[in-house]
Every structure is written in C-alpha cells, then in structure tokens.
Amino acid sequence: MDREKLKSTTSIFTESVRELLSGSEGEHIWLNGIAKMVLSMMNLEVIREDVNQFKKYVESGDILDFGTGSGYIAILLESDGFKVKAVDVNSYDEYEKNNYNRLMIQDQKKLWGNLTDSHKNLMFTYYKDILPYKDNSFDGVCAYAVFEHIPASKIPNVLDEIHRVLKPGGIFLYLVSQENLPFQNIWRKFLDLGFMKNYIGIMKCHVY
C-alpha cells in the first residue's frame, strides 16, 4: 500500500466517523476516542508498514480481520485488494451490560454500515465462541492489537477457531503492542502447547 492510498482510505474512514458524530447527540466516548486517534495521524506510517508486511505473507485472497474494532484495518486491507470478512465480539452481550458498551455497540454498528457502503469486498459481523465461517475459508487471518485484550482462558478456543477457518497452509499474523510483555509471556505458553504450529508469523505494532 502506497502513501496516497493510505491517505485516501483514511480520509473515507475519517469522514464516516465525523458523519456519525455530527448526527448524534449524547455521549459517544468510544467513537470520540476513535476520532481522536485517527485525526491525530500519528501512527499512519507504522500502520502502512504493518499492512505491507502482512501482504508479504499473503499477497491476495480471502482475509479475516479478527477483532476488527472500528474496522479501520479492515478497510485498509480491502483497499489493498483483499476480500475481507471482519469480526468482533459484542462487548455489551459478552462482557458487561453497561451504558458505555451499549453506546459503543450502537456506534460500532453504524460505523460498520457506513464502511461497507464504500467498500464492496468487506463484511462485518459479531461472533461468540464459534466463528461464523466454514472450515478452510481464509487465506490469511490478521489480528491487529487484539490478543492483549482477550482473557487468557479464552485464548485456546480462539486459536482453535482461527486454525479451523484457515485454509491449509494459510497464514495467521498477530500483531501485539511492543510494551505488553505480560501478554507475550502468556502467549508463549500457548505456543509451547503446540497451538497453530507452522501457521504463525509474529510482528510487533503500535496500537491504533
């Protein structure tokens, strides 16, 4: 992905966020946080390098953006030529039924809807425990700054599910924040148990 494509895709994302904020009253803590990060533009070059690194492993095909969050990484991958399915958990249903999570899910759904309107090879959905895809569906899975936020008890099942939906020889690339050493120690424990052997590429990223 070149810099101009990154800027144009980011502009589409930024306008979608602004449109939602300008048309909504009340608290939108999650969406305002997304807007602040994107508008700062401070990590764009790092993100561009990460997306290009992913493409070194997977040149084209069907991609799962696991733990998509706002969908920003998903639209970058789609703009770079991939067919992308993007998935996340519903925090309101999965973790805590508080007002923050309720408003976040409302804004997340609206933002996803706007992004799919402008990206034809992109689809978002929520999941719980079982990924809603057939076995051997994807050429690659990208998890960008996601696993640090998953409870350790859930990681074995998540890895099993990612392994299930990957095609034979498919690539799973997870990107974790460089500062999160406790998570990296937990992660190594699971790798030692043999999860995803022969399928894992490891990179470090800045959280965005």
Q: What is the pLDDT of residues 31-44, one digit of tens each?
A: 988 888 877 766 78
Contact 15, 26 (CB under 8 A): no
Q: Which CATH number fits domain 3-205: 3.40.50.150, 2.60.40.10, 3.40.50.1370, 3.40.50.720?
A: 3.40.50.150
> What is the value of pTM for the model shown?
0.87
Structure tokens given for 155: 């990681």
- Tell me how far CA of residue 145 lies from CA of 19, 142, 160, 176, in angstroms: 26, 10, 19, 5
pLDDT score recorded for residue 196 = 42
Count the Cβ atoms, other than its own, within 10 Å of residue 46: 12
Higher pLDDT, residue 183 or 131: 131
Phi, psi of 138, rounded to the nearest 5 degrees: -125, 145
Count the Cβ atoms, other than its own, within 10 Å of residue 87: 21
- Closest listed residue to residue 38, CA positions, set 12, 63, 20, 64: 12
pLDDT tens-digit series, residues 165-188:
998 888 888 776 655 555 556 666
Least confident segment among 16-20, 93-97, 185-189: 185-189
Higher pLDDT, residue 133 or 188: 133
Domain ranges of the chain: 3-205
- Paired residues of 143 in beta bridges: 174
